[in-house]
Structures are given as structure tokens and as C-alpha cells.
Structure 1
Amino acid sequence: MARYSPEHKEATRRRMIETAGRRFKSDGIDRSGIAALVADAGLTNGAFYGHFASKDDLVASVVAQQLADQVAVVSSLPVGLASVEAFVREYLSPAHRDDLPGGCPSAALLDEIGRCDVAVREAYTRGASAMIEAIAHHLDDGDPQRTSERAIGLFSLLVGSLQAARAVTDPELSDRILAAGYSSAMALATTPHPPARASRQDTE
């Protein structure tokens, strides 16, 4: 029996995660059977269980990797509002809306992830937290709590806007949802610092 190198095994595992991610986002987690998942990767059922203990194990791995890839993109951008604007514009673009298999894992899978086992939800929690931190790095206004809240708000707004734009059947309404989401996201990203409270001495 041929022995595969660690590099080959890792490449096979990565291919399985990548193809499963596209299948999950396109068809849904529940509707994606192991037979279809292994066929997409050019593997057999036996090979699947050589890399993953179960379908849930694969789902958790997909969620972790997809979010890690997304975080890497945001983290690689030059720090500043220009990068935020470019990311928001691309995220809420018609092209991203129409590319379900290749798009954001949160927008495509959140409803199902909420019903998955705890290992999948923990993988999502770690990934979403890292994504929020990456966004916060671009929004830093000197107040860690306020910056974190704005990053959470921006992350949630982007995901929800994309989900709504994909769900409606009216193309014009879908485009308006994307446009409104963009405007709201940029308003949140550019929220000015609240004015400092005047001291009692200043007002006397």
C-alpha cells in the first residue's frame, strides 16, 4: 500500500475543505451529503474518514478555514478608512451577492451554523471574533470599547445586508438593499468621536 507524504495528506485535506466550503454555501450544510462532498474533491468515502471524524468535523474545519481566509484578507489591507471603504464596497457588490459558493461564509451559512453542534459554533465564534478584531484594527479611534462596538456593528450590518439582498426576488430592491447597506456601513465606519464633556471649571 502506498504511503502518502504529510504534504500530500495536508493538500488533500485542504482540497476537501475548499470544495466542501463551496458546496455548503451553494446547497446548504444539511443538503450536502458526504457522497457529494467527497466526489467534489475527487476522493472516496474511505479517504474522507482518513481526514475527518465526521461531517460535523468537516463543517467545523470549513468554518474555521473560511473565516481565517477572510480575516487574512482584511488584516493584509493598509490600515485606514480607504481600506474599509474598499472592503465594504466589494462585500456589498452585486458580484459578491451573486457568487454564493465563493462568497462570505457568514452570509451563506449563519442560519445553519446556529443549529449545528457546539464544536461548529465554537469554530464560528473564534473566527467571527477574529474578523471583528481585524475590522476594529481599521476603525481604532483610541477608545477600545467604542471601537469594538463599531466593528461588531459593521460586521453585523454587512452580513445582514448581504443576506437580505440575496433573499429578495426583486432585483431592484436587492440593489437598493446593497446600496443602503453600503451607506449605513460607511456612516458607521466614519462616525466622529463624541465631543468631550466640558468640565465644571470650563463652564464657569
Structure 2
Amino acid sequence: MRYEKGHKDATRKRIVEIASKQLRREGVGASGVAALMASAGLTHGGFYAHFSSKDALIQEALAEAIEQVSAWIGTVAATSDDKLEGVIRAYLSTHHRDNPENGCVAAALTPEIGRHSPAVRQLFTQSIEKHIDILASLLPASATPEARRSVATAIISGTIGMMQLARAVDDEELSERILNDGIAACLSLARAIKA
């Protein structure tokens, strides 16, 4: 059967978008090729017409997810009076907690990525570096670049861990407290750099 021009590219894009969400929702280990292809309405056998390996798909899906998160952070910062506070509050929100398939790759997959291929880890490292730079740029320019970078690294590390804990506990009240205390701690850390 012949398909219209662009069909293969559109199909590949759909697979990557579905994989991007599924990986963040269910994890790398739980996201098998057969299930991903079925979610895209395709057969398992068709996978290799688009990707050389599961690792190749994971790299593309993570890149897609990272771009989505970067766009989300940019939108939040652009629409907030206090850009840094807006980003911290959006990240440590119940909406983000309850929708991992649309959220941060780091909060969803850090433990798995740490055990993955060098290529996937390199992509993830570049993403973290980029987000540290973005967050550092939202801190007061009166602080040294080293101080801004140090605080940005601490805030990113803290928010990722807090989100992971808020998702892991089975007590709704404790989960909310983790998010709210996390917001307060990150804002306190960010404000301390002004001193």
C-alpha cells in the first residue's frame, strides 16, 4: 500500500509524542515497544520502519519532552510578575504533580535515566544544564554568576526531589505539605541571594 508524501514523518512524530507522554507517565522500564506502538494505533512490527532501536525512540521522546517543558517554563516566566516565583509555583503545583505525562522529565525519570545509555544521559545532562542556566538568569543580576548558578542548581535539585516525594506518598495532606514547604524553601533560597 502506498501512502501520501509525509505519511511516514507524520507517523514517526505521532509515535514520538505518544512515547514522550507514556515514558513520563509510566517510566522507561514499563514502556514496551508493543504498548507504545499499540497506543499509536500501529503494529509492533512497524516500529523498526521508524526507529533503529528502543533507545533511539527514547532519545527522541525525551528530546520532545524536554522541549515541551522548556516551552512551558518559558510561558510561565513570561506571564508571571515575578518570573522565578511563577516558575517555582508552577513546578511545585498539584497540577504538575497529578499530570506527569505533561511534566518535567527529571521529576518523572531521573532514577531510570541514571541507569540508561550514555547517549540518553548526555541528552538529559544538556537539558539540566540548560534549565540551570535559565533559572540562574531569573535570579538577581547583582549576584555573581557563580552564586546565581549555585542557587539555581540547588533550586532545581530541590524541586525535582520534592516533586518525586509529593508523587510517591499516599497521603494527600502530606503531599500538599511537601509542595507548599518546597515552594517556601525555594523562594527563601532565591531571596537569600539578594542579601
Cα distance in 2 between the residues matched to 1:132 and 1:124: 12
Q: Is the 8 A contact 2:100 2:108 kept in 1?
A: yes
Structure 1 residues 140 and 79, CA gap change in structure 2 (3 angstroms):
farther
Question: Which residue is equivalent to 1:141?
Answer: 141
> What pairs with 1:168-187 in structure 2 (closer than 5 Å)?
168-187=169-188
CA distance in 1, matches of 2:80, 2:132: 15
Q: Which structure shows the higher helix fraction?
A: 2
For residue 141 of structure 1, give the secondary structure of its aligned residue in structure 2. Answer: coil
Correspondences of 1:40-79 after superposition (within 5 Å): 40-76=39-75, 77-78=77-78
Q: Contact 2:20 / 2:64 at 8 angstroms: preserved in 1?
A: no
Give, in whole Å, the separation in 2 of the partners of 1:111 and 1:157: 15
Whole-angstrom CA distance in 2 between matches of 1:126 and 1:46 = 32
CA distance in 1, matches of 2:69, 2:101: 14
Residue matched to 1:39: 38
Q: After superposition, what is the alpha-carbon deviation per residue over 1:147-168, rounded to whole angstroms, capped at 9, x for unaligned?
A: 1111111111111100011111
Aligned to 1:200: none
> Larger Rg: 1 or 2?
1
Give the whole-Å Cα distance in 2 for the aligned partners of 1:52 and 1:188: 44
CA distance in 2, matches of 1:84, 1:15: 33
Q: Does 1:150 align with 2:127?
A: no
Q: Residue 162 of structure 2 contacts residue 182 of structure 2 at CA under 8 Å; is this kept in 1? A: yes
1:73/1:23 CA distance change after superposition, 3 Å: closer
- The letter for the 2-side match of 1:193 is K
Q: How far apart in 1 are the matches of 2:4 and 2:132?
A: 38
Q: Matched residue pairs, number? A: 193
Note the alpha carbon deviations across 1:164-185, whole angstroms, 9 max, x for none.
1111112111111111101011
On the 8 A contact 2:12/2:50 being kept in 1, the answer is yes
Give the AA of the match of 1:148: R
The yes-or-no answer on 1:126 pairing with 2:126 is: yes
2:21 equivalent in structure 1: 22
In 2, Cα distance between the equivalents of 1:65 and 1:165? 25
Q: Which runs of 5+ in 1 are unaligned?
A: 195-204
Q: In the alignment, residue 153 of structure 2 is paired with which amino acid?
A: I
Residue 160 of structure 2 aligns with an amino acid whose one-letter code is V
Question: Structure 2 length as normaliser, TM-score?
Answer: 0.89
Amino acid at match of 2:117: D
CA–CA separation in structure 2 for the residues paired with 1:51 and 1:39: 14
SS for the counterpart of 1:31 is: coil
Residues 11 and 193 of structure 1, relative CA distance in 2, 3 Å threshold? same
Q: Is the 8 A contact 2:18 2:39 kept in 1?
A: yes
